[in-house]
Amino acid sequence: MPKDINKGHVIEAIQKIDREGVPERRKSTRYSLVYNNKHYPPKYVISIANIFANGEEYSSSKFSGGDETNKFLEDLGFKIVANELERDSEEYIDTWIFQGNPRVFDVDNYIKNHKFIWWSLRQEHFVDKIKIDDKVFLWRSDGGQRGSGGILAKARVVGLPQERTNDENAKDYWHTDDWENPYLSVKLEVLEVKLKEGFINRLSLLEHPILKDLLILRLRQQTNYLLPQELAIELQKLWDLSYNTTEDVLDSNDIENIIDSEIIETEREQVIKSRIGQSAFKKALLKIEKKCSICGVTDERFLIASHIKPWSQSNNRERLDVNNGLLLCPNHDSLFDKGYICFDGDGTILISDSLDEATKVFLNINETRNIKMNEIQQQYIKWHRKNIFKSF
C-alpha cells in the first residue's frame, strides 16, 4: 500500500471517478467508500489516488482489498460500509460463454461496432435460466483457421430471451441468408472488447490448469454454455490479467524464420529468447508492473523479462504466457535464472544457503523481500522451486 497517499489524493481520485466512472471489472460487491452520499469501490479509489500521489495508477495486484484497504482509508477519515444487498445479489449472477462462427457471421465487427447486440440462444433449455445482469463472455470459434478461436469480449444480459427477426442492417454481418430467419435471442450490452490486446486464445485455455475443463473445449458445436462457479471465477481472473496480443506476439515459426539456420542450437535459442523477451513478452509484463519485482528498479533499460519456467523447458504457449514471467533487474534475473533465489507460496523470497552474507548484501537480497503472484504464477513458481531452486 503506498503510504504517501493522503486524504487530499483520495478526494482527487473520487472526483476523477465521478467524471470518468468505474470500469466494470473494478466494481466492488463487498464494500464501499461513502463520500458525499455516494458509494465508491475502495480498492479502485486507492489505485487512482496513487496517480495524484506518485504519478501512476497503482496496480491492484500489489495490494489486497478488504481489511487492508478499508483500514487504510478509515485511518484517513473515510467511511467504509458493507454492501450487503449487492453481495447477496451477486450470488445469483451466472456467467456464460456465447459462441459465434466467423464463417457464418462477422463476429469481430459486429461486437466492435455496436454497444448493444443480439445473440442467438440455440440451447433453448436455458430460456428460464438466463437473467438480467448475467455475465457473458463472447467466443469466436476457429472458423476453419486453427488457433484463431477464443474469447474476445465481455458483455452483460440486458434483455431476456425473445423471438426476433434481424433488421435490414444486420445482413451486412452475415455471410449466409440466415439473417432473414426469426430466431430466439438475448440482448447484450458489450462491456469490454479485446480483439487483439487481451484476447484469450483457445489453445492457451487447453493448457490452463483449471480452465482446461471448460465444456466448450470438449463440446465445440454449441452456442450457449453456462459456467460452473469455479470456472466462472477463474475465467474472470484470466480476463482481468490477459495482455497478450495477436498482433505483437510472434509464434515460434515466425521467429525461427528470421534466424540464420547455420548458427548452433545454443545460439539459436538465445536469439529467439532475446527477440521475444525484449518485445511482446516484455511489453506484456510492463503493462502489469513497471519495475523489478524484487528491488523496485524502474528504468526499463535495465529490466529483463525473465521466464519463471525456463524457455528451454517451456512449450510454445508457456514461452509467451505473461504469467510465466517476472520483470527483474540484471542481478536478480541472474540469481533467479540460476536457481539461487525463488519464492514460497505466499511470495516470500527463498535464498540458497550457498550464498554468504557478503554476497547477499552486494546483490541486494535479504529475507524480507517478497512479491505478489496470481494463482497461475504460483504454479510456475512451484515448478521453479521444485526443478531450479538450489536450496543449499
CA distance 133 to 89: 10
Give the model confidence (pLDDT) of 86-143 as tens digits: 434 444 689 999 999 999 989 999 998 899 999 999 998 998 889 988 999 999 998 7
226 DSSP β-pair partners: 96
C-alpha distances out from residue 154 to 27, 60, 112, 190, 302, Å = 15, 20, 11, 6, 36
103-118 in b/e form (b: 16+ CB < 10 A) is eebebbebbeeeeebb
End-to-end CA distance of the chain: 33
Strands 349-351 and 135-140: unpaired
Cβ-based neighbour number of residue 270 at 10 Å:
13
The CA-CA-CA angle for residues 207, 239, 252, to 5°, reads 45
- The three cell numbers of residue 270 are 538465445
Give the model confidence (pLDDT) of 143-180 as tens digits: 767 767 899 999 999 999 998 887 777 778 888 887 77
C-alpha distances out from residue 338 to 308, 333, 346, Å = 11, 8, 21
C-alpha distances out from residue 348 to 68, 342, 362, Å = 18, 8, 20
- The three cell numbers of residue 111 are 461486437
Taking only the tens of pLDDT, the chain with its 392 residues reads 777 899 999 999 999 999 888 887 677 767 889 998 888 999 999 999 999 999 988 887 677 677 788 889 999 999 998 875 443 444 468 999 999 999 998 999 999 889 999 999 999 899 888 998 899 999 999 876 776 789 999 999 999 999 888 777 777 888 888 777 888 999 999 999 988 767 888 888 888 888 999 999 999 899 999 999 889 988 988 887 754 333 333 344 444 443 344 344 444 455 455 444 445 678 888 888 889 999 999 988 888 888 999 877 887 678 778 899 999 998 999 999 999 999 998 899 999 999 998 888 888 899 888 898 888 899 999 999 999 999 88
Q: What is the 3-state secondary structure of the chain?
A: CCCCCCHHHHHHHHHHHHHHCCCHHHCCCCEEEEECCEEECHHHHHHHHHHHHHCCCCCHHHCCCCHHHHHHHHHCCCEEEECHHHHHHHCCCCEEEEEECCCCECHHHHHHHCCEEEEECCCHHHCCCCCCCCEEEEEECCCCCCCCCEEEEEEEEEEEEEEECCCHHHHHHECCCHHHCCEEEEEEEEEEECCCECCEEHHHHHCCCCHHHCHHHHCCCCCEEECCHHHHHHHHHHHHHCCCECCCCCCHHHHHHHCCCCCCHHHHHHHHHHHHHCCHHHHHHHHHCCCCCCCCCCCHHHCEEEECCCHHHCCHHHHHCHHHEEEECHHHHHHHHCCCEEECCCCEEEECCCCCHHHHHHCCCCCCCECCCCHHHHHHHHHHHHHCCCCC
CA distance 112 to 194: 9
Asked if 108 and 195 count as a contact pair (C-beta separation under 8 A), the reply is yes
